[in-house]
Structure 1
Amino acid sequence: MFQPKHHNPPLAAALIFVATAFIAATTLLAKALGTDALGPPLHAMQISHGRFLFALLAIVLAVATLRPRLVRPHWGLHVGRTSFGWAGVTLMFASVAFIPMADATAISFLNPVFGMVLAIPLLQERVGPWRWLAAAVALTGALILLRPTPASFQPAALLALAAAALIGMELIFIKKLSGREPPMQILLINNAMGLLIATLAVSFVFQMPTPQQWAALVGIGFLMACAQACFVNGMARADASFVAPISYATLIFAALYDFAVFDVIPDWISLVGSATILAGGLILVWREAVRRRA
């Protein structure tokens, strides 16, 4: 039987914060690979394949070294989680090649909102007026970032919106898996299944990467493995309502990386839209905390 980790909020906060820096870095490398920064642009499915390939190699090495205790997995939940996760991360990688990283990252923060809505029919959860308000505020922020005018509409932002919806569905499976299996086992199975799906998909679009692109693909996989390890272990040591606001630091790192490497400065629409989404997310986190105390 798997024993959950001991409650340790300070360590959880530190782990989640480090995970946000890693996640934003993977998005930066995906943007470099999806543009001509490192050579001919790679397809988003090839970037996703590299992410799963090299993340799996890192996790297999960790498992071989640490030899964690494994339990019988729930294969149905793993298949669902991995399928939606692969599709979500692939669309996210596609979106950052066309829109600022901060915009794509902010839109991706809608995934808890989609997860909340999907939990109504799939988990039979009840959603009160405050949580609906949080969803409405966050979706308003997404609408702002989409810039829905003929002159400024960003079609690529719809890719990030679809990614958020798919990752929201992944959250449903993560909720069902949480507490059932040890984190290292979840990471191992998720990345192994993800690599299988990604390998089938990339066979239609594969092109030989340049040496710089190979290095970036290795970096994406390694950083994502580190981010997943930090995130899963952080979530295991504190309530979700406590660690969720810390994950919004991803937006700060994404904006900093985009400015440092691509000289992209967020405009006022990006700032307003991102702030609106964050406000909706924080309302949702607050209500989750209230529900737990009740």
Structure 2
Amino acid sequence: MTTNVVRPGLAALSVLGGMFALGLTDNFVPYISERGSLWQFHMVRSVMAIGLLGLIVMIGFGSLRPKRPWAVVGRSLFQAGAMLIYFGCLSIMPIGVVVAGLFTSPLFVVVISVVFQGKRVGPFRWGAVALGFVGALLVIRPDPAALDPVAFLPVFAGLLYAIGAVATRAWCEGETTMTLTAGFFGMLGIFGAIGVFMVPWEGAPTGHAGFVLRGWGPLDAEMLFWFGVQAVGSLIGIGLIFRGYLLGEASQVAVFEYALLVFASFWAWVLWGQTVPMLGLMGMAFIAAAGMIIALRSAPPVPDPVPGTAA
């Protein structure tokens, strides 16, 4: 009888590698946002990513066929919506702030599980939720005298991502990683195509400010190169993360996802000279600590060893 071998060390390295890849490639978005379009970016990158997934399937690895198509579509709506906001925010906000907002998703998962699923949560996880939201406020630092709702968009992305995470568990049991990944990129591609046709092609501001407001941008060799980098980099990052979850316990592996806060901020400093103020760093630490507490406290209880087997 075969058993799944848990390899925590390799799992951690795999997730760290995935976060390193995503932290680097996400920092290339300013090369795209200066002249390109958010909608064009998602449409073209999704075509590239699904094409690569199709090649992987053709050579005999996995399948893209969903068992419950509407469940995959529903889950993909929320996950893709979160990423649409995430990449839009990268053109106008420091990447560390945007990543921190997205990583409030575990806090929302706790709230959703209590309010809508009737689950019971102990004081540690409620304390983590409070700590995480304090951290989000420290990162965003809203000014009551000049409140800008745009500053809260990364947190809204975290909410959508949390709904997608809950939907993944509730609706998509038994679906393959390849299927969910294809559904995610397919939905982003649809969003991108809608934006390309709905958003006017002219009249948008020049530079990064026009990234979301442009329906189409120059599709030259340089832009195609950066789209390709994003497609390959995101597939590598997502693949390594999923591999980590196959090699380790989910609650322990999830802790290492918060390395993205470090990698993204590091590459933002190296490539763009972006720095995070001390309060922002403190807020990121609060968010990461809250997520780790939730991940570890959400772990299923370990069963007692069966007599006659190794503990």
Per the normalisation by structure 2, the TM-score is: 0.83
- What is the distance in 2 between the residues matched to 1:59 and 1:5? 25
Structure with larger Rg: 2
Deviates most, 213-222 or 145-154:
145-154
Aligned to 1:86: 80
Secondary structure of the structure 2 residue equivalent to 1:107: helix
Aligned to 2:224: 214
- What is the distance in 1 between the residues matched to 2:146 and 2:4? 48
- What is the distance in 2 between the residues matched to 1:279 and 1:285? 10
Secondary structure of the structure 1 residue equivalent to 2:168: helix
Q: Are residues 1:277 and 2:271 paired?
A: no
CA contact (8 A) 1:17 1:249 kept: yes
Q: Are residues 1:245 and 2:255 paired?
A: yes
- What is the distance in 2 between the residues matched to 1:117 and 1:138? 12
Secondary structure of the structure 1 residue equivalent to 2:175: coil
Relative to structure 1, is the Cα distance of residues 221 and 233 closer, same or farther in structure 2, using a 3 angstrom cutoff? Answer: same
How many residues of Structure 1 are paired with residues of Structure 2 in the alignment?
286
Partner of residue 230 from structure 1, selected from 240, 265, 270: 240
Relative to structure 1, is the Cα distance of residues 69 and 94 closer, same or farther in structure 2, using a 3 angstrom cutoff? Answer: closer
Task: Please list every run of 5 or more consecutive structure 2 residues that lacks an aligned counterpart in the other structure.
Answer: 199-214, 304-311
CA contact (8 A) 1:248 1:278 kept: yes
- What is the distance in 2 between the residues matched to 1:81 and 1:4? 30
Aligned to 2:296: 286
Aligned to 2:18: 19
Residue by residue over 1:54-84, the C-alpha shift from the partner in whole angstroms, topping out at 9 and shown as x without a partner, is 2212211211123326775111221111111
CA contact (8 A) 2:252 2:296 kept: no
CA shift for structure 1 position 97: 1.4
CA contact (8 A) 1:77 1:176 kept: no
Relative to structure 1, is the Cα distance of residues 238 and 265 closer, same or farther in structure 2, using a 3 angstrom cutoff? Answer: same
Aligned to 1:268: 278
CA shift for structure 1 position 277: 1.1
Relative to structure 1, is the Cα distance of residues 245 and 63 closer, same or farther in structure 2, using a 3 angstrom cutoff? Answer: same
CA contact (8 A) 2:139 2:280 kept: yes
- What is the distance in 2 between the residues matched to 1:25 and 1:4? 35
Relative to structure 1, is the Cα distance of residues 178 and 229 closer, same or farther in structure 2, using a 3 angstrom cutoff? Answer: farther
Q: Are residues 1:30 and 2:29 paired?
A: yes
Secondary structure of the structure 1 residue equivalent to 2:217: coil
CA shift for structure 1 position 178: 6.1
Aligned to 1:51: 45
Partner of residue 196 from structure 2, selected from 185, 193, 202: 202
CA contact (8 A) 1:110 1:139 kept: yes
CA shift for structure 1 position 241: 1.0
- What is the distance in 1 between the residues matched to 2:185 and 2:142? 36
